[in-house]
Amino acid sequence: MLENTAKGAAALASVVVFRNVTKAPVLRALRAFFECEGDESERVERYADFVSALYAQGYDLSRYLLNAAAEDENEYIRLRAHGSPVPPTLEAAARGELGIFGELSRLTPELLRGMTGYTGYLPGFETTKMDFAAEFERRMERVGVTGFGQYARHTMFRIVDGEIEPVHTPDRRSIEDLIGYERQRRELLDNTEALLRGLPAANALLIGDAGTGKSSTIKAVANLLAPRGLRLIEVRKDQLLSIPSIMERLRDNPLRFILFIDDLSFSTNDDSFAAMKAILEGSVSVKAPNTVIYATSNRRHLVKESMSDRDGDDIHVNDTIQDTVALSDRFGLTILFTKPPKALYLRIVHELCAAAGLELTEDLDTRACAFAIRRGGMTPRAAEQFRDMLLSKPMEEET
């Protein structure tokens, strides 16, 4: 047991494989507490710094250490995740360091308070009795599904300055939130489940009228299947040229990924058009078996074709037109979303209002239809906006 501050500081200093864990705020503050040689007041302050850092992650030191170790991104966990052999030296080092974390997980607030020499009030924290090594092994058995590093802690990501960064407040929309379009949802869900099973999965293009739930369907599928190892990475249209490098980085990850491109379209002279075409054609340099591209568009033909394209001076005008308008055909799966008929629109309104606890008044249908006309048509988005309007001013006549 790490019964004194010198031994605790030395133990944390010796960690190599899981060094990222010791550099994170909680253990960095704990090490500073162990190394403190100041007076009682300074030792109390270091103790408070440690507890404050722990509170930001939860209140249980044992659970924090287990999560931090199992979700760390290091060579040992990468090899375990891929099912690759672990060199004996690395295995021995990892086991030794997990033993240190196991000892740290048994530290109690009473023990650390005693190390301060202070007998007044100090905040406590929780410690859970566990077999740390056994719990860690159980987590490793599922690392191919739970992921490691940032992919263990988050499910949705975006590209920022060429790097994959987590979305800390992702859209939590669920399949149950979506009403209607059951066939379209099933097509996308079946394709995504094939990806998770390691079977061939198609890149998918969701096309149709605005506000019909194309993007919401992709996000809902991603949320539903996240516990089975699916992650979503949003790629903006101006970032399409980075897709090959993104796929290369994800290629050896045990998880499965959706690269999500919303509202996809091109102009005829767009530099990213050729890159997108190569990606969809499955160039050896960019294709990754654990990744699919799901895109949405309000246009059936992704390239905006003008009359000047037809009358231009290209010798092979027809070939040029076919090359541009046929980009959408390079998606293996195309799913059409159209504006719902009136009956479905009103069903969506009724179910949304009922779920929100709103009264289904006699004039609800009339008001919902009038609202949709002012918003450009009867769509699921209009139904949601109508529901939100009623929630914000249920007793007033909308304008």
CA angle 323, 324, 330 (to 5 degrees): 75
Q: What are the start-end ranges of the E strands in 161-269? A: 163-166, 204-208, 230-234, 256-261
Give me the count of residues in the chain.
399
The confidence score (pLDDT) of residue 328 equals: 73
Q: Tell me the HSE value of 64 on the side-chain side, using a 13 A CA sphere.
A: 24
- Cα–Cα distances in Å, from 321 out to 206, 306, 307? 22, 10, 11
Helix H segments across 56-131? 61-70, 75-82, 88-104, 109-116
Please, are residues 332 and 206 in contact by the beta-carbon 8 Å criterion?
A: no
Do residues 350 and 384 touch, judged by C-beta distance below 8 A? no
Which pLDDT does position 73 carry in this prediction?
A: 92
CA dist., res. 38 & res. 36, Å (int): 6
Alpha-carbon distance 17 to 77, whole Å? 9
pLDDT of residue 306: 45
Question: Tell me, what's the pLDDT at 4?
Answer: 64
Whole-angstrom Cα distance, residue 80 to residue 394? 55
Nearest Cα neighbor of 161 from 245, 218, 230 is 245
> 3-class SS at 57?
coil
Alpha-carbon gap, residue 277 to 203, rounded angstroms: 12
Closest CA to 157 of 283, 255, 78, 81: 255
**What is residue 34's predicted lDDT score, i.e. its pLDDT?**
95
pLDDT tens for the chain, 399 residues long, are: 565 678 989 999 999 999 999 999 999 999 999 999 889 999 999 999 999 999 999 999 999 999 999 999 999 999 999 889 999 999 999 999 999 999 999 999 999 999 999 999 999 999 999 999 999 999 999 998 999 999 999 999 999 998 999 999 999 999 988 999 999 999 999 999 999 999 999 999 999 888 899 999 999 999 999 999 999 999 998 898 888 899 989 988 999 999 999 988 766 566 667 777 777 775 544 567 899 999 998 865 555 544 344 444 444 444 443 444 556 778 889 999 998 999 999 999 999 999 889 988 889 999 999 999 998 889 999 999 999 999 987 555 454
- Output the CA torsion 68→70→76→77 (10° steps): -120
Burial bucket for residue 54 (CB in 10 Å: 0-12, 13-18, 19+): buried
Q: What is the pLDDT of residue 159?
A: 95
How many other C-beta atoms are found inside a 10 Å radius of the C-beta of residue 186? 11
User: What pLDDT sits at residue 107?
Assistant: 95
Cα Rg of the chain, angstroms: 27
